[in-house]
Structure 1
Amino acid sequence: MTRQNSLELGDYKRTKRQLTQPMQEFQDFITNSKTQCANGMGFSADELQKSLLYEDQPTRKEKCLIECILKRMEVMDKDNTLSTAAIGRIANIVGNNNPLITSIAMATADNCKKFINAEDSCERAHQINICIATEMKMRKIKLIY
């Protein structure tokens, strides 16, 4: 390995942020939820590789997969609405129990509820997903599903 390659790899390792243990455990939970949902819905291994969080044009099947994932995370409740309480619990994990981060996340969730108006549960999940993705991207939170 040349010195240049070594420096590039070293720089990459320094800039690549590692998830905290609670974040890694939550990411593992999300990944397992996605796998379980996808297997139950007949998704292929190739389809499973696709990240749905930032998908602009998900298929109907993908929207229903998002619904399954969000329900396992309890972000989408049994009434197909966005759960502010679940968002608060997740914000505690992501924000290391910072009350300001939690309150901002819960206020954002309340605001998102205004834009979730689809009748169909898979479509509602897609609307919730758009709101979540927008906030996570804006706040540079590195979780995926």
Structure 2
Amino acid sequence: MNTLEPRYRIPSRQHFSQMVMPKLYQEQKLLFGSDITEHKLIVDVTTRWNSSLDMLERYLDLQPAVAAALLSPEVRHNTHEIDTLDNLDIRDPEDIMKLLKPLKTVTTVLSDEQNPTVSLIVPLKHTIEQSMLPVEEDSTTVSMMKKAIFNNL
């Protein structure tokens, strides 16, 4: 064996997905009931403004099933590089969702209007600015995101 070759073969993303998705569906049925609709995780798309919020919402909805699937022996047996989830993996998405919801609301309001008028811009901008003000409870991640969003306004 060449000393530069890795000791373990890390599965490709597609192979890993094919391996984990059936387990994720199985865990959803066990945790949420057999009559639920199976959901995939959503991946955000840079060209879709609200896809990051959609991704976080789905992750939090499925978080118990995701954790159970990643901890299952079937998944762990086939790979050696799975990190476990911790409290920050839940708290950060919850906080970021709260941060992104006003942006989705503004996007939805402007998208729903047949003929958006300038009179909507000022109140909607004010809504965003108010939601981006620092709060003592903000995590470092949320503080940095608020600052970046506010500066880009």
Q: Please report the TM-score for the alignment, with normalisation by the length of structure 2.
A: 0.30
